[in-house]
Amino acid sequence: MNHEDAQFNRRLAWLILVSFVVFASAVILRLGLGATPYDATDSAGRPMGFNDPLHGEHYLIMFRNFNLTDLFSLEYVYEWILLAAQVAGAGVLLNCGRLGARFCVWFFAGQAALFPLGFIALPFLPVLVGSFFTGRMDREGFVDIPFILAIAQPVWIVTSLTIAVRLRGTGLGRILSRVHAFLLP
Q: Tens of pLDDT along 3-35?
A: 777 777 778 889 999 999 999 999 999 999 999
pTM for the full predicted model: 0.84
Q: How far is CA 62 from CA 40, 51, 55, in A?
A: 10, 16, 11
Q: Any idea which of 14-23, 58-67, 115-124, 142-151 has the lowest mean pLDDT?
A: 142-151
Higher pLDDT, 51 or 60: 60
Q: What is the mean pLDDT of the chain?
A: 87
Both ends of the chain: CA-CA distance in Å?
Answer: 28
Which range marks the domain in which residue 52 is found? 3-183
pLDDT of residue 134: 87
| Amino acid 105: pLDDT | 87
Q: How many separate domains does the chain show?
A: 1
Most confident of 59-68, 131-140, 161-170: 59-68
